[in-house]
């Protein structure tokens, strides 16, 4: 059974700090990995995706992928109270379809002023 595991948290960081969110996956056939942010009562919105080993940066966000260790992470620099949300890690078998996703249970992040 394909599984994606996340530390459910909650993770609490002060404003301006770096928040580090981690995710592991069991299916070595997974090709692409996604980080979604979900505010309470809202639908998920995509933050970043990564499919190559290494780091990928987009503004304050950096995604890291290590396929050998089956490990994905998301770093949020200069965390803001508006970053407080649940962060969902998801894996896709890839190909040309990125919508068939296996999600982790999510990590609750709280950024306090």
Partner 1 sequence: SQTIHQWPATLVQPVGSPLSLECTVEGTSNPNLYWYRQAAGRGLQLLFYSVGIGQISSEVPQNLSASRPQDRQFILSSKKLLLSDSGFYLCAWETVNTEAFFGQGTRLTVV
CB closer to partner 1, 19 vs 50:
50
Report the nearest approach of partner 1 to the CB of residue 105 (Å): 4
Q: Could you tell me the sign of the dihedral formed by the alpha carbons of 6, 47, 77, 55, in that order?
A: positive
- Burial (CB < 10 A; 0-12, 13-18, 19+), residue 38, is middle
Report the nearest approach of partner 1 to the CB of residue 44 (Å): 5
Report the nearest approach of partner 1 to the CB of residue 39 (Å): 12
| Interface residue list for partner 1 (CB under 8 A) | 4, 6, 34, 41-46, 49, 88, 90, 96-106
CB closer to partner 1, 6 vs 84:
6
User: How much is the CA Rg of the chain, to the nearest whole Å?
Assistant: 13
């Amino acid at each position: 059974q394909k599984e994606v595991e996340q530390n459910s948290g909650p993770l609490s960081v002060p404003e301006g700090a770096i928040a580090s969110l981690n995710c592991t996956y069991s299916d070595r056939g997974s090709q692409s990995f996604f980080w979604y942010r979900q505010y309470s009562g809202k639908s998920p919105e995509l933050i970043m995706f990564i499919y190559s080993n290494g780091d990928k940066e987009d503004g304050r966000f950096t995604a890291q992928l290590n396929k050998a260790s089956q490990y994905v992470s998301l770093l949020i620099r200069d965390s803001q109270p508006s970053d407080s949300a649940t962060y969902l890690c998801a894996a896709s078998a890839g190909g040309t379809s990125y919508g068939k996703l296996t999600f982790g249970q999510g990590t609750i992040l709280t950024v306090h002023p």
